[in-house]
Structure 1
Amino acid sequence: MKIAAVVLALALAAPAAAQERDYCPARPGLGTPACTIAPGRVSVETSIADWERDEGADQRSDTSLFGDTVVRVGLADTIEGIAGWTPVGIARERDKMTGTTDRSTAVGDAYLGLKANLAHPDGSGFSFAVQPFATLPVGRSPIGAGDWGAGLLAPLSYDLAGGVNVQLTPEVDAAVDEDGSGRHLAYSAVAGVEVPFTKTLSATGEVQALRDQDPSGRSTQTFAALSLAWMANDDFQVDAGCVAGLNHSAPGARLYAGLSRRF
């Protein structure tokens, strides 16, 4: 009877023990972490503000997103469900020749995805995952894309000495055409290095190359990014970051800040 009681206690304790892992928000940064949320846990990750400027020869565009939120739910030890939505977006375009300005406010599209980790769901050692997703055209132009899209990410990461973590996120998309009707091939890769300053503060440097084969004109964009993340406690993170376009096809600058909370 005593042996049976011990076995039963261990069996009941096993799921709880399996769920104990460090919090790994998907933000900040351009890449995607390979880790997944533990089963039964929920992560709410929100951008307080996200501003981007694109400077052209004839016009300047500014896009600001507020409350852009992603919810990640642990469904199994290695699988999480993902849902996201942008409730408010403001687009502002200024014609440099005439000085006229157009301003639009709209909601963005919805995001649905599923991440399956294939090695080390806590993100330790060598971690690898696949993440198929779809975007649903619930938003309005110019914040919403105008049609559905889909894609696949395959994030991976590897721990080095001293807590340094190297990351790679390749992605392939059926991206929505610029005119808001139909889809085309787009693909990208993000490479990054995360360096811890303290137990709670870390910085991540990244580079990204993106190839977009839109029918209206093919383009290649390159970016460099730097982000900071501070873990206020085991379940709460504050972050901020900046992105710089490295070639003429890429938007010139982006600044953002956000919060992540695990429940």
Structure 2
Amino acid sequence: MRMMLAGAMLIWAIPAVAQEREYCPARPGLGTPACTIAPGRVSVETGLANWTLERDSDTRTDTVLIGDTQLRIGVTDSIEAQIGWTPYGHVRVRDKARGDIDRAGRVGDAYLGIKANLMNPDGKGFSAAVQPFVTVPVGRGPVGAGDWGAGAIVPVSYDLNDTVSLQLSPEIDAAVDEDGDGRHLAFGTVVGLGVALSDAVNGTLEFQALRDNDPADHATQALAGLSVGWKVMDDLQLDAGGNAGLNAASPDLELYFGISRQF
């Protein structure tokens, strides 16, 4: 009887231990962490504001996204479900020669995904996962893509020591064509170096290369990013970051800040 009682107590204790896993938000940065949310927990991660500047010889485009949110739900010890949506985006395009300005405010698309961790779901030591996803065209252009898309990310991280970690996020997509009708191949990777600046503050330096084989214009983007996350509490993080384009095919500049909360 005592053995049965001890076994029952152990079974109930296992989920409780999983619940104590350190919070691991997917924000901020260009890459994707390999860790997953503990079972029974929910993470709400919101980009409060995101501004992107793109310039070429003819136009300047400013894009502002408000409230871009991802919901991550811990399903098992190593699997989480993901739901994302952009509730509002504003795009302003100015013609440099004529001075004409076009503006559009739209709802963005939805995102559905699953992340399955293959090793160390808390992200410690060597951790790896696979994250397939689809995008659902609930929004309208120019904020929404206009058609469904799909892809997969294989995030990998390795702790070099107690304060520095190496992060990789290779990705392959069936990306939506620029005209909003059909899909094409896009692929690339993010390489990052994460540094624990203190017990509560983490910084990440990243580089991204992305090949986009859109039928209208094949291009290779290259970005550098720097971001900081501050855990105000164990289950609450504030973040800010910026990305800079390294070639003519990339956005010139992106600045953002957000908040992540685990329940």
TM-score per shorter chain, which class?
A: over 0.9
Match of 1:46 in 2: 46
Instruction: Return the alpha-carbon distance in structure 1 between the equivalents of residues 179 and 112 of structure 2.
Output: 23
Q: 1:135-177: per-residue Cα shift (whole Å, max 9, x none)?
A: 0000011000000000000000001113211100000000000
Does 2:15 align with 1:3? no
Match of 2:122 in 1: 122
Match of 2:146 in 1: 146
Instruction: Return the alpha-carbon distance in structure 1 between the equivalents of residues 208 and 196 of structure 2.
Output: 21
> What SS is found at the alignment partner of 1:162?
coil
Letter in 2 for 1:242: G
Instruction: Return the alpha-carbon distance in structure 2 between the equivalents of residues 77 and 14 of structure 1.
Output: 10
Q: 1:104-126: per-residue Cα shift (whole Å, max 9, x none)?
A: 00000000000000000000010
Letter in 2 for 1:123: G
Letter in 2 for 1:220: T
> What SS is found at the alignment partner of 2:33?
coil
Match of 1:57 in 2: 57
Letter in 1 for 2:81: G
Match of 2:24 in 1: 24
| Structure 2 residues not aligned, in runs of 5+ | none
Instruction: Return the alpha-carbon distance in structure 2 between the equivalents of residues 3 and 178 of structure 1.
Output: 64
Instruction: Return the alpha-carbon distance in structure 2 between the equivalents of residues 117 and 207 of structure 1.
Output: 23
Does 2:103 align with 1:103? yes
Instruction: Return the alpha-carbon distance in structure 2 between the equivalents of residues 56 and 230 of structure 1.
Output: 35
Letter in 1 for 2:184: H
* Offset of residue 4 of structure 1: 2.8
Match of 2:219 in 1: 219
Q: 1:156-209: per-residue Cα shift (whole Å, max 9, x none)?
A: 000111321110000000000000000000001000011011100111000000
Aligned Cα RMSD in Å?
A: 0.7
Q: TM-score, normalised by structure 1?
A: 0.99
State the identity as a percent: 59
Does 2:108 align with 1:88? no
Instruction: Return the alpha-carbon distance in structure 2 between the equivalents of residues 232 and 118 of structure 1.
Output: 29
Q: 1:77-123: per-residue Cα shift (whole Å, max 9, x none)?
A: 10000000000000000000011111100000000000000000000
| Structure 1 residues not aligned, in runs of 5+ | none
Aligned length: 263
User: Contact 1:67–1:86 at 8 Å: present in 2 too?
Assistant: yes
User: Contact 2:163–2:197 at 8 Å: present in 1 too?
Assistant: no
Match of 2:67 in 1: 67
> What SS is found at the alignment partner of 2:124?
coil
Match of 2:183 in 1: 183
User: Contact 2:242–2:254 at 8 Å: present in 1 too?
Assistant: yes
Instruction: Return the alpha-carbon distance in structure 2 between the equivalents of residues 136 and 12 of structure 1.
Output: 38
Instruction: Return the alpha-carbon distance in structure 1 between the equivalents of residues 124 and 74 of structure 2.
Output: 17
Instruction: Return the alpha-carbon distance in structure 2 between the equivalents of residues 12 and 27 of structure 1.
Output: 31
Letter in 1 for 2:171: E
Does 2:196 align with 1:196? yes
Instruction: Return the alpha-carbon distance in structure 1 between the equivalents of residues 89 and 97 of structure 2.
Output: 26
Instruction: Return the alpha-carbon distance in structure 2 between the equivalents of residues 56 and 4 of structure 1.
Output: 71
Match of 2:15 in 1: 15
Q: TM-score, normalised by structure 2?
A: 0.99
* Offset of residue 23 of structure 1: 0.3
User: Contact 1:19–1:77 at 8 Å: present in 2 too?
Assistant: no
* Offset of residue 13 of structure 1: 1.1
* Structure 1 runs, 4 residues or longer, greater than 3 Å off: none
